[in-house]
A and B are shown apart, each in its own frame.
Chain A
Amino acid sequence: MHVPDGFINAPVSAVTGVVAAAAVAVSLRGARRELGGPSHALSSGGEKTAPLAGLVAAFIFAVQMLNFPVAAGTSGHLLGGALAAILVGPYTGVLCVSVVLLMQGILFADGGLTALGVNITDMAITTTVVAYVLFRTLVKVLPRTRRSVTAASFVAALVSVPAAALVFTAIYALGGTTDVPIGKVLTAMVGVHLLIGIGEAAITALTVGAVLAVRPDLVHGARGLTAPLKLRVGGELVDAPAAAPAPARTGSTRKVWGFGIVTALLLAGFVSFYASASPDGLEKVAHDKGIDTKTTQHASSDSPLADYSVKDIGDARLAGGLAGVIGVGVTVAVGSGVFWAVRRRRGADTPERTPEAV
């Protein structure tokens, strides 16, 4: 899936290069925080980043060579974006996969030098961010057990691979140098990557499960799972003094999250089957009065999700429902990403610290 030179035209390559550079710059700062860890009170975490991120990058590089036999002589390997995001966190994940891609481009000539921005945007940023946002959302919704962490990593990895294929198709639609029709690229890429995603999901979930069984403290995505410390005083269990701050609140927010997501998916995916096929009020009025004769087609009207249906799927209801589900997914991802970033910023500004960090 490494994009070679000359596949995407120069302007789009340059833009994706800028996107990739910005994302790597943000990840460099975020990775310091993620890898700094609470165990070393005196260090700022800065000097721990390079060795740990470097070794994780070496791990991803090696694990991409681990062959998983599928059937009859064929085998696949891990892409690693989702796995990295769940094991070491999104920032370090983006950083490590980007470094792997950079070195593959320069040393092994795997992926073009001018296509580096495309490759990083597609394979490092999209997979890790989509996987992590989905993973966090699911872990919030599901009960707080190890099994749900494994299940969440399965779903996150399953979606992250076709999401990368979608982003690739979008980049191709903007700046592809060949004339393969977008619909064909979309069906081929997403179709193949749905299959690859199933393998990726199974391997990621099994690997996360294996690490969880041995060193649950190393799994970044499972940090909230540690049970509160209990002391045995006089034969009965008592909560240790410095208990986790207010675990009661999480239950209610989890319910709200779950209810919201399920409702949105239901509305988008199933209720839209039965929605009126006639245009909505304003469009109908505009049509009746003839004031829409001058409106030009929207710029993205030939995009894969234009007019709220997925291209190349014949059944209008199925297409509408699918577009709705994809739309909700993307909206939830973007929305919770923004929300999370804002809350993160606010948390960084306030001087108070959690007991573990001091």
Chain B
Amino acid sequence: MGAGHSHRLYRHGHSPVHELPPHCKLAAVFLFVVVVVSTPREAMWAFALYAVLLAVVAGAARIPAGYLLKRLLIEIPFVAFAVLMPFVVPGEQVHVLGLALSENGLWGAWNVLAKGTLGVAASVILASTTELRALLLGLQRLKLPPLLVQIASFMIRYGDVITDEMRRMSIARRSRGFEARGVRSWGVLAKSAGALFIRSYERGERVHLAMVSRGYAGSMPVIDEVTATRAQWTRAAALPVTALAVCLLGWTL
């Protein structure tokens, strides 16, 4: 029965991380990622400490490790890229297990892998502890243009509707004996995409008319204004501030 009320990316819970106001969390995650990106790649222990910090936050949010790891799989494409790097970068060669690898390439691969993984993990924790609506309100609190937030919220709200429409069209195609194989079936698929565009656009027009007839004049009333107390800001700031300390240590040591 949970379908439609919360997104599948969100993990319901009542942990201290869940309770934090969304804009505090957004700011904290963004600052954390900025700190991680500006850490020198030679300070390997710093990245281990960052990982420990994230693990502590995930623990506080009661996110199981398996869940987090499964969501980390999104970064597989650039892991493949990072694996290639030691072979294509010129420079001094080191021999590991009979393979000639370049030292610079190894550092580059490590740099991208470590920073990318930490960034993805931070975003995953944010998305699993914050509801979509709250996330959008948080973005608005952080002074994103209201029109942009509205567009994003319409996209989120109707994203699943449009995706489901596409899935139904695919079922309809398959139940009539169509099977997509090879370039020759692109015509049919492209016609579906065109039909999907027309349906989406016309749905947008209907949504607009329905909203206008209910008094919409270009801006959404904010009924649940989120505010953050000083204590909540301090708690959210704990993550980036600790990370900053680690980063400064990394630069000096």
A256 to B234, CA, bound (A): 65
Instruction: Tell me if A145 is interfacial: C-beta within 8 Å of chain B.
Output: no
Interface majority SS (helix, strand, loop, mixed), chain A: helix
A339 to B112, CA, bound (A): 41
Contact with A along B88-125 (1 / 0, CB 8 A): 11110000000000001100110110111011101110
Contact with A along B186-222 (1 / 0, CB 8 A): 1101111111111011011101100110001110000
Can you show 28 pairs from A to B with CB atoms below 8 A apart? A6-B116, A7-B78, A10-B37, A24-B145, A28-B148, A47-B218, A52-B205, A54-B152, A54-B158, A55-B155, A55-B207, A57-B154, A58-B155, A62-B162, A66-B166, A66-B192, A71-B182, A88-B201, A103-B155, A106-B123, A114-B119, A177-B41, A178-B108, A180-B88, A180-B105, A203-B190, A206-B186, A215-B198
Instruction: Tell me if B176 is interfacial: C-beta within 8 Å of chain A.
Output: no
Measured CB to CB, the residues of A under 8 A from B are 4-7, 9-10, 13, 24-25, 28, 46-59, 61-63, 65-71, 78, 87-88, 95-96, 99-100, 102-103, 105-110, 112-114, 177-181, 184, 202-203, 206-211, 214-215, 218
Please give, as numbers and ranges, the residues of chain A lying within 8 Å of B120 by CB-CB distance: 4-5, 109, 112
In the assembled complex, the CB of B51 is this many whole angstroms from the nearest CB of chain A, namely 14
Instruction: Tell me if B239 is interfacial: C-beta within 8 Å of chain A.
Output: no
The 8 Å CB contact of B112, one of A107, A110, A177, is A177
* Residue ID in chain B nearest A11 by CB atoms: B38
Beta-carbon contact of B153 and A210 below 8 Å = no
Given A24-B148, A51-B154, A51-B211: A180 and B89 within 8 A (CB)?
yes
List the 9 shortest-distance A-B pairs measured between CB atoms, nearest first: A54-B154, A6-B115, A210-B194, A5-B119, A178-B108, A206-B190, A55-B204, A4-B116, A47-B218
Please give, as numbers and ranges, the residues of chain A lying within 8 Å of B71 by CB-CB distance: 109
Beta-carbon contact of B116 and A112 below 8 Å = yes
Beta-carbon contact of B34 and A114 below 8 Å = yes
In the assembled complex, the CB of B35 is this many whole angstroms from the nearest CB of chain A, namely 10
* Residue ID in chain A nearest B190 by CB atoms: A206
Beta-carbon contact of A57 and B119 below 8 Å = no
Please give, as numbers and ranges, the residues of chain A lying within 8 Å of B127 by CB-CB distance: 106-109
The 8 Å CB contact of B162, one of A10, A61, A99, A113, is A61
* Residue ID in chain A nearest B160 by CB atoms: A58
Beta-carbon contact of A52 and B204 below 8 Å = yes
Q: A6-B114, A108-B9, A180-B108 are in contact. List 4 more A-B contacts (CB 8 A).
A: A5-B115, A51-B154, A103-B152, A178-B104
* Residue ID in chain B nearest A59 by CB atoms: B200
Given A58-B200, A62-B163, A109-B120: A211 and B194 within 8 A (CB)?
yes
Beta-carbon contact of A59 and B30 below 8 Å = no
Instruction: Tell me if B226 is interfacial: C-beta within 8 Å of chain A.
Output: no
Beta-carbon contact of B152 and A203 below 8 Å = no
Given A61-B159, A69-B181, A113-B123: A13 and B37 within 8 A (CB)?
yes
Please give, as numbers and ranges, the residues of chain B lying within 8 Å of A59 by CB-CB distance: 162, 196-197, 200-201
Given A51-B207, A55-B203: A178 and B85 within 8 A (CB)?
yes
The 8 Å CB contact of A52, one of B29, B118, B201, B212, is B201
